[in-house]
Structure 1
Amino acid sequence: MGIDSIHQTAIKAFVFDVFGTVVDWRSGVAREAQPFLQRHAPNLDASDFADAWRREYSPAMEEVRSGRRAYVRLDVLHRENLVKVLARFGIANVPEPEIDELNLAWHRLDPWPDAVDALRRLKARFIIAPLSNGNIRLMVDIAKRAGLPWDAILGAEVVRAYKPSPLVYSETAEILGIAPRELCLVAAHNNDLAAARRVGLRTAFVVRPTEHGPRQTSDLKADEAWDFIVDDLHELATQLGCAR
């Protein structure tokens, strides 16, 4: 997309998927789980454990999205999912404080190498904020640890709905006081971008080919002609004319 086309879009804010797009959840959860597993399941691979925990993510949110369950924040779902995964692996008799502590693994994730500096570049010209299914405290803790320079914390808990529910995207534009076409979602997941586009948001795909580890098979390329398709967030900032 050329600079003239970019100006025509009149984008005023960029919001970001966080898990997988801005931070490396798999490595972080595996790292945080390793000491726990050494105590309780020393033969269990920490990355396999992280993957199993993550597989419960979408089904748990679907209970809320479908209306079968009232909204609860992601920290609650993560802990319930953790208890399920512990049982599945036969890990029993874990003290409740240990489970609570392990659940905080999601609060201590590292950013991808390009994320912090590229976000600072974008922040100089645009409003930037997370648009994550993570709850507010979760997003704050990740941001403070990683140095993510958000202007605001937005996302699921603010609107009390989970992506890809249309309300998450449309209400975020409303909260920012802008039209949907003036808001761009940045994500490494085609389904997230498709949902955002359906309610009028601009879209930016960034490839994260190792989000799910070395054998990742999903989201290795853009499935549609998104407004921006980039290899990392610095490329996005450069296309938008943001200074280094």
Structure 2
Amino acid sequence: MAQAATSTPTPDPAFLKWPASASPEYIEARRALLDEEFALRNQIERVAAQRRALPPGPILPKYVFEEGPADLTLNEPSREICLGEVAGAGGKTLVLYHMMLGENAEEACPACSMFLDGLNGVAKHLAQYITFVVVAKAPLEKVRAWARKRGWVNLRLLSSCRSEFNKDMGVERPAWFSELEQGPGISVFRYEVEEGKPKEEGVMRHFYTTTPHFAEDVVRGMDLLSPVWNLLDLTPEGRGEWNPRNDTV
């Protein structure tokens, strides 16, 4: 019988993470940092397990969204669709990005756009395991026009302009940042069907939502989802005062 895998209590010293020419001073400091990185990794695993163990969330109303064709160069035909129809077809967990693009905004939030630039690149990988969509309050034509400008050919785009979805989810004039017309965030939903009922009679149940803000002046609540921030954190300069801009694309 194969033995069950056991977790290593500390980083294995045989796995070196520095060049052979590193000084003793560097190695000592790097080993201390490695212990902290390992502790952080373990904490991330514990938090993920705690998240997965959340009790069932509320059942969502049947919000109606607008969606255009898969071909991003076209705006018609468009259709009305519910989240249950989006998730129910494949039976996968639905992950939804709340994009900051309001009804009167000229362009989307630069940080949201940076996040979605990256997610567009991995969307085909995500589709093997989950259903991923982007929702914005702006009219569908404006959402698709911004997506065309950014080259988001792999993202599924929905407009919530005719529903109370954003408000009910706490991302429209959010209490945690009332100056924002629309706030960013990530939400996760599950499509559930009671035993004995047809698949089309399932419901959408909320599982998890997060935003960048822990308080009005305490952010970085979604940074793990962006390779940009994580790569900058590896550099000696760190993030500095840099922020994403829309004029780079």
The answer to whether TM tops 0.5 is no
With CA pairs under 8 Å and 6+ residues apart, which has the higher RCO, 1 or 2? 1
Report the TM-score range of the alignment, normalised by the length of the smaller protein. Answer: 0.3 to 0.5
- Which TM-score applies when normalising by structure 1? 0.34
Q: Which has the higher helix share?
A: 1
- Which TM-score applies when normalising by structure 2? 0.34
